[in-house]
Structures are given as C-alpha cells and as structure tokens.
Chains A and B, each alone.
Chain A
Amino acid sequence: MTDWLPPEAATALALSLRVSLVATLVSLPFGILCAYALARWRFPGHGLLNGLVHLPLILPPVVTGYLLLLTFGRQGWVGAALWDWFGLTFAFRWTGAALAAGVMAFPLLVRAIRLAIEAVDPKLEDAAATLGASRPVVFATVTLPLILPGVIAGAVLAFAKAMGEFGATITFVANIPGETQTLPTAIYSFLQVPGGDGAALTLVLISVAVAMLALALSEWLSRRVARRIAGR
C-alpha cells in the first residue's frame, strides 16, 4: 500500500473493514427482528431474550470469546453441525472474527433499533391495518420507513464497535496475520515487538478516526429519525 503504513498494518485494516462490514450486514436482519420483538411483543421469555441480547455488553469479552469457542469451535455443538452440514467453519478463520465482532456489537445494534421502534406510535400501525395492510405490509410501509434512520444509526454504531473488537476475537480465533488479525489485535502485536510503536500509533489514529466518524454519523441519523416521525 503506502510507505507510511506497513504491509501487515494495511492487511489488518483491510481485514478489519471486511470483518466489520460482514458482521454488521449479517446481524442487521436479526437485530431488527430482535428489536421489534422486544419493543412490540409480550411473550414468555421476553426478559430472557433481553438479557441474552445484552449479555455480551456485560460479560468480560474473554468469556464471550471462550463461549463462542465452546459452541462454534470445530468441536462445539453448533460448530460441528455447521461443519458437517455446510462445510462452514469459524475456528481460526476471518468468518470467526466476523462472528465474534457481530455478537459483541449486537447489543448496540438492538438498542438503537429498539429505541427507534418504540418512538413509532403503534396507533399508526393500527391505522395502516384498517386501510388493508397485513402485518408484514404494515412493517414494510410504515414501521420500517419511520425507523430507517434509527436502523442506520444502529448499524453505524455496530460497525464501529466491530472495528474495535479485541477480547472475544483473540480468544475465539486468535491473532493470525492475514486471517484473523484485525486492527486492535494488530496494534497489540505491534506493541509487543521492538520498533513497532510507529505502526501501532498510525493504527491507533485510524481507530480513533473511525470511531469519531461513526459516532457523529449515528448522532446525525438519530436526529433525522425524530424529524421524520414529526412529519415535517
């Protein structure tokens, strides 16, 4: 790439972007579903689901990473099944890094979308039903357009969180350059070798920039949600 960025650092940055993008896009539909269920439905296990979604926020990331290893590792009960049926494996692959990043970012994604859904008056959805719209159509034509800025804001936050994921990633898929070495694990590696501070600092600045940008973007989008719901 360029001479101010060592090739390992460039690789780590590119991998981080790919991992975060995949993690965000794949978790988005699940995030919307979870947020909708938590915001609109009352069912047995509501509290349990809410707890599960928020768990990665509270658990030490190492614990989340280890739990992922237990379930999605080659010997894990989900990981083994996925390998047998689809030839899909997460262990020590970049897909595993994406899974770890997605799980860690999930609470942020769901929280942002849930807030947006709760700001939509259910009476509007009732009104749509009386006009002939079935549940899925109500969601597609009323709920989703109204929460869209909130969904995007949540996705931006989740992307930024995924870019910074360290503990669960390194526990689950280790720190393999070119395969699972993301921005934060690369910074960690650079700091372990003599003369690596320069590259580490560059990556630190990039991380800060991504985080700030994402935060600003998500703020701006949240304000749009409010304006959209006010209907002006």
Chain B
Amino acid sequence: MTLEIRISHRFDDFRLEVDLTLPGGLTCLFGKSGSGKTSIVNAVAGLLRPDRAHIVLDGVALHDLPPHRREVGYVFQDARLFPHLTVQENLVYAARIRRQRPEGMERVVDLLGIGGLLDRRPGTLSGGEKQRVAIGRALLSQPRLLLMDEPLAALDEARKAEILPYIEALRDETGLPILYVSHSVPEVARLATTIVLIDSGGVGAVGPATTILSDPATAPLLGLRDAGAVLAARIAAQESDGLTRLETAAGPLWLPRIEGSPGRALRVRIAAQDVILALHRPEGLSALNILPAKVAALHDGQGPGVLVRLDLGGEFLLARVTRRSAQAMDLQPGLAVHAVLKSVAVAQADVGRRTGGDSD
C-alpha cells in the first residue's frame, strides 16, 4: 500500500504544506498541538477541503471523492458514538446504511473485547469502552485506511494501557494501513512503524520508527526529555525473582516482569536519559544491564547535553550525557563503550508487542 498526501492550505494564522509518500503499517504523525496533524487526517478523510490537495491511496484519487465515498475509517479523539443508538447499532451503522450484512463482526468484537457492551447506550460507557467501540465501528465500515486522531489523548493512563494492546493487535493482525496522530512519545515509540514529524504546518522528518527514534539529529525534535530509541527484543525466560530476561541483538536485558511466554517478540523503548555510558565494563554496580556498544554518532544540543547514538550490533540506542562527560571520556564515533541501564528505569508502558512473535 502507498498513500500519497500532497496538501497545501492556508489557515488564518498558519500555512499547511505537506508532501508525503507513506508505506503501509502504522504511520504516526507526531507534532505539537496546533502543528497541523489533525488537519492532515481531516483532509485525507475529506472533512477538510484544502486549497490544493492530491491524496492518492493505492491509485485511487481520494481528493476527487466526497467523504462518504472515500472508504476511510476515522477514530476521533472524542469517540463520537451516535447517542441514540446502542453499541450494537453503532457497530453495524456502516453496514446498515449500505444495506449489507455486517461482515467480520465477531472477529472485531473479539479483537476489541466489547462483546459485553452490545446492548448498552454510549452514554453509559467509560471513556476507554467508548473508544474501543469507536474503533470497532470504524473497522466494520470495511475501510481501506484507518485514521486515528489522538484516540488515547482524552483517557487516563490506566485506560490508555487498556487500549494500546488492541491498537498493536490492529497493526499486526489486520494488515490495515493506519495513520495515527499523536503528541505522546511513548505512544509513538510503541506503535509506529513509520514516523512523520510535523512542525508548524510542514514535514520535519519522515522515516522508519527505529531510525527516527535513534537518530540523534531527529530525536530531539520529539522533545529531549522524551528522546529514546526502540529496541527489538524477544522474551528469553521468566526468572524466579520477578525479572524477565530478554534477548536483544546486543545481548541479554533484564527488566521487571513482562507478561508473555518465551519467544514473544517485543519492542522496548529506552529513554536516552536513562542510559549511562562507561569506557570499561563496570563492576560492583547495582544496574543489571550492561551492554557493549560502539559510539555511532554524536549530536550536540543547545543545552549542556549531547545525544549519543550507540550501535549495539545492528540495533541502536540513544544516550543523553553532558558535554563535559563526553569530553572527559573523549567520545568519538567508533569508540567502544558500555551502555548501562537500570532495569527498573523501563516503564511497563514502554514495552509493547512487535510483529514476528512466535507465540502470539
């Protein structure tokens, strides 16, 4: 699948100018609020008519079609369920207006765990439940592309944790291309296969998620505090003291218990500020994870910090250290170092699933 988006639109206070060609998978549009992310998905859905638009999905010119003929599902930040209909009636709405039998109902209801809600009215659902029903309703319209505009932004952490696995399952199991708007780095790191950085109405950077997140030049655009690379990992063993041993390209990694049986593929986001660098393998240290690495690149920030890209044998990590340390250690590309990471520094929310798992 390819999605071409070329938009130019003048708003009262800023200009949106976008030229993108996107692959399948889950593409995150990341940027500050007001940067134009939502306008882009609205243009794809046809809810915004830009001054100039060239939006083509697999050869179909969407910009020529009215919204209802675009076959684009849309999950809004505020679920927008129809209040006069039950959950069941909301789910089959698209099929009903086309006078078709709803297809794949059972699968979608299972995937989203909404079987127990079918007879309820939207007004009686929690925020997380509403959002899952909204996702189901969009999926059951048999879309060729799914748009999600900050579907988790209005939810608290517990509800987010409830829904994230469903979105991962969508990404990995349905093969449906997803355009996902977010301004939360942990969310992007967990979900994205492709990242588009949107900055004041234009495209700041585009690329595969792992590259964008571990590139010291683009990572700061996501916010320095939140900078951090994503590591592909696989569960190796559940150990008796409550830790889970992961296999990564760089060696074993111990993290607090992660559910899943050995072999399960994961992506783990490791924040740059949680990584410590050492020239020699440290001893007598409480941190469990000491990974041999090679400095790949350095990127000076505006403050006292330096972002260091570490090559761990094909996988990349980011470390954020002070410029003073970088000079004292004489960090140079090619230098062999050890990356030290406290197990407990990795939050549960930063561990997500990944396609290619053997056991799920």
Chain A residues proximal to chain B, CB less than 8 Å? 121, 123-124, 126-134, 137, 141-142, 145-146, 228-232
Q: Complex Cα distance A142/B90, Å?
A: 11
**Cβ contact of A124, chosen from B74, B80, B97, cutoff 8 A:** B80
Q: Which residue of A lies closest to B74 (CB)?
A: A130
User: Which of the candidate stretches B65-73, B241-249, B265-273 sits at the interface with the other chain?
Assistant: B65-73
Q: Does B137 contact A (CB under 8 A)?
A: yes
The reply to whether B121 and A231 contact each other, CB–CB distance below 8 Å, is: yes
B55-71 contacts to A (CB < 8 Å): 66-71
A231→B81 contact, CB < 8 A:
yes
Interface size on B, residues (CB 8 A): 32
5 interchain pairs, CB-CB under 8 A: A130-B67, A130-B72, A134-B66, A228-B83, A232-B124
Q: Is the CB of B121 within 8 A of A142?
A: no
* Minimal Cβ-Cβ distance residue in A for B70: A130
Known: A129-B67, A130-B46, A131-B97. 12 other contacts (CB 8 A): A129-B47, A129-B66, A130-B73, A131-B68, A131-B138, A132-B98, A142-B82, A145-B84, A231-B83, A231-B84, A231-B124, A232-B124
Knowing A130-B73, A131-B138, A133-B97 touch, does A229 contact B83 (C-beta < 8 A)? yes
- Per CB-CB distance, the 7 closest pairs between chain A and chain B, nearest first, are A231-B83, A231-B123, A232-B123, A130-B74, A127-B80, A129-B67, A131-B94
User: By the criterion CB–CB under 8 Å, are B68 and A133 in contact?
Assistant: yes
**Bound CA–CA A126/B74 (angstroms):** 10
- Give the interface centre of A126, A132, A134, A230 by most chain B CB atoms within 10 Å: A132
| B93 close to A (CB within 8 Å) | yes
Q: Which residues of B contact A (CB under 8 A)?
A: 45-47, 66-74, 76, 78, 80-84, 93-94, 96-98, 121-124, 137-138, 141, 147
Cβ of A134 and Cβ of B83 under 8 Å apart?
no
Instruction: Tell me, in angstroms, the Cα distance from A121 to B67 when the chains sit together.
Output: 18
A138 and chain B: residue at smallest CB distance: B68
Q: For the complex, what is the distance from the CA of A146 to the CA of B84, rounded to whole Å?
A: 7
Q: How far is the CB of A131 from chain B (nearest CB, A)?
A: 4
Find out whether the CB atom of B137 lies under 8 angstroms from the CB atom of A131.
yes
CB neighbours (8 Å) of A230 from chain B are 83, 123
- Which residue of the partner chain A has the closest CB to B141? A131
A134 and B68 contact, Cβ closer than 8 Å, known pairs A124-B80, A129-B47: yes
- Cβ of B324 to closest chain A Cβ, rounded Å: 52
Assess whether B80 is in contact with A129, with CB atoms less than 8 Å apart: no
Residues of A within 8 A of B81 (CB): 231
